[in-house]
A = this chain, B = another copy of it.
Amino acid sequence: MTPPSPLASRLGFIAPFHVMSLLEQARQLEQQGHDVIHMEIGEPDFGTPPAIIQAGMAALQAGHTGYSPALGLPALREAIAEDYARRFGVQVPARRIVITAGASGALLLALAALVSPGKEVLLSDPAYPCNRHFVHLLEGRAVNLPVGPDSQYQLTADHLAQHWSADTVAALVATPSNPTGTLLSAEALAALNTAALARGGRLIVDEIYQGLVYDQAAHTALAQSDQLFVINSFSKYFQMTGWRLGWLVVPEAYLNAVNRLAQNIFIAASTPAQHAALAAFQPDTLSLLEQRRLELKSRRDALLPMLQQLGFRINSQPQGAFYVYADSSTLAGDCEALSARLLQQAHVAITPGIDFGQHRAREHVRFAYTVPVPRLEQMAERLRKVL
């Protein structure tokens, strides 16, 4: 008889996304001929801008299909550095910008450089679920701190002061945040960074939704300090999800470590995708992206009152990304049952709060406004009938 199979202990901490089973049910409904309104996936519905597509095709035609350098194409690292200067007035040397396979690759590099086994990373609850799973992948301990409307669902310097232990090495925040769409101000970021550095740790700032903000100018945490890690991506603002391209901005002291990790873990990011991304910063692409940002703003402005009329409560105004984190507690006791019911009865797919943490998670659902306003109206109409 064969002995039992070894299974890594980390699997005990790595949960599947609940939304995946919902997606499967949605697919079945569609196969039965039903029209499902998809508001569950964190993916813009616009498609990659044409100039980026064209640049990708030209790169393939020109045979740019070999390995690129481990830290990325020099021209793309320079282009990102120039974009920081142009859009945000911040000088970030290209050597500190490392191109990765999506923001996932950037997060893995940053945490692999910081987290030894048993060390702690402070995170908000709710938060993007992969963050805590990456910490567990690397045998660290994710410390999920409950946050609510009083701090716009964000960690504060006070949280760090209260929960930083001898084992803590980093705090991870996101602005704009997934699932809540809330922001951190320049002052809040500066205070978080100071709090982390003062305790011998580092702040990691997820800026994946950078540029998708609606009530103020976009900014970057890099304006506050060159000692923090910044995670970014071509997926959301530049709408290149399926290309899998992101970047990590690395503090000088970690360049050697990140270089060694990148060489070994990834070899390199996709070469055709990097060539395509060079077109992301062209004026015509940037102006198209601005139009799309305004379209997302209109959707948000349309969606919020619809949800409130349906009985959802919005406890903190979402100001960025393309998510509304809605309090469903007066409508249903359990977000999972509610999401399942809305899918089956109204053919509207949304994400249950339990994908984002534990703190009051069963009382919330996330709506992604990745469909046009007429479709949002249709969604509201359908929900009205079943709620």
Q: CB distance B265 to A113 under 8 Å?
A: no
Task: Name the B residues within 8 Å of A198 (CB-CB).
Answer: 2-3
Give the contacting residue for A15; candidates B16, B53, B260, B270; CB below 8 A.
B260
Chain B residues with Cβ under 8 A from A260's Cβ?
Answer: 11, 14-16
- Copies of the protein in its oligomer: 2
Contact with B along A183-204 (1 / 0, CB 8 A): 0000000000000011111100
Q: Is the CB of A241 within 8 A of B16?
A: no
How far is A164 from B61 in the complex, measured between Cα atoms in Å?
Answer: 50
Is there a chain B Cβ closer than 8 Å to A4's Cβ? yes
Give the chain B neighbours of A6 by CB distance below 8 A: 114, 116, 119, 169-170, 200-202
Task: Decide: A117 and B242 in contact? CB cutoff 8 A.
Answer: no
Residues of B close to A8: CB separation below 8 A: 112-116, 119, 138, 257
Whether B16 lies near A263 (C-beta < 8 A) is yes
Asked if B243 and A272 make an inter-chain contact with CB atoms under 8 angstroms apart, the answer reads yes
Q: Of the 9-residue stretches A100-108, A288-296, A326-334, which lies at the interface with chain B?
A: A100-108
Residues of A within 8 A of B (CB): 2-11, 14-17, 20, 41, 43, 47-48, 53, 56-57, 60-61, 63-68, 70, 101-102, 104, 108, 112-117, 119, 129-130, 133-134, 137-139, 169-170, 197-202, 227, 239-244, 251, 253-254, 257, 259-261, 263-273
Known: A3-B197, A53-B65, A272-B272. 16 other contacts (CB 8 A): A2-B200, A3-B199, A3-B200, A6-B119, A6-B201, A6-B202, A11-B113, A16-B259, A57-B60, A65-B239, A67-B241, A101-B101, A137-B261, A243-B272, A244-B270, A270-B273
